[in-house]
Every structure is written in C-alpha cells, then in structure tokens.
C-alpha cells in the first residue's frame, strides 16, 4: 500500500511530532518500502488462530490495597522543565474541562 505525505502528516499529528517537509517526504517513501515488506503477513494462514499479546500464560499478579510512601514533592518536580510551586506548568489549555 502506498502512503502519501498527507497520511504521514496525519500520523505525525496523532503522534504529536512536527515533521519537516523533508522528513515527510523521506518517511513516506521509507514507509512504503517497509509496508510492502510487511504485506507478507497477509500470506500467513491465520484463520482460527488466536492472537498472542502476552507470551506468558495467564497469571493473576496483584498487589494488596496498602498505602506505600509516595515520592517527596521536590523529587517529583526535580526533572520538571517548567513548574510553579508544587505544580507542573504547561502552556494554556484551550478547553478547560475537555
């Protein structure tokens, strides 16, 4: 299947990456090549085969409902690119309740 630069642009928006026009061009070509190779999957006989998303067998791993210490707020914010007091700071969000 052929991927247009427009489709790459849409995928990049979903993935929140501002690709340059050169990147769009290059990735579209490379995606075509890779997806043409991936087409091979269509020749595998998968009727009646169940999907594997985990290689392990079912194993119910739980934690008990107990409170454990949280991270001190200063450590929480130690890596923050921008902050205000005990909060992380980000550019304004348009829809306050969205």
Which residues in 30-69 contact other proteins (CB under 8 A)? Answer: 30-31, 33-35, 37-42, 44, 46, 49-56, 58-69
The single residue among 4, 6, 25, 73 that binds other proteins, judged by CB under 8 A, is: 73
Tell whether residue 15 is a contact of other proteins (CB under 8 A): yes
Tell whether residue 82 is a contact of other proteins (CB under 8 A): yes
Q: Answer whether 11's CB lies under 8 Å from 5's CB.
A: no
CB of 14 to other proteins, least distance (A): 5
- Please state the φ and ψ torsions of residue 35, each to the nearest 5 degrees: -70, -30
Provide the 3-class DSSP secondary structure of residue 28: helix
Tell whether residue 21 is a contact of other proteins (CB under 8 A): no
State the Cα–Cα distance between residues 58 and 89, nearest whole angstrom. 41
């Amino acid at each position: 299947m052929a991927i247009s630069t427009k489709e790459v642009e849409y995928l990049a928006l979903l993935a929140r990456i501002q690709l340059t026009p050169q990147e769009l061009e290059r990735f579209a070509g490379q995606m075509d090549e890779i997806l043409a190779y991936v087409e091979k999957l269509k020749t595998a006989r998968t009727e009646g085969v169940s999907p594997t998303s985990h290689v392990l067998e079912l194993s119910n791993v739980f934690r008990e409902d107990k409170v454990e210490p949280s991270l001190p707020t200063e450590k929480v914010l130690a890596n923050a690119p921008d902050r205000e007091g005990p909060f992380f700071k980000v550019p304004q969000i348009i829809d306050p309740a969205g």
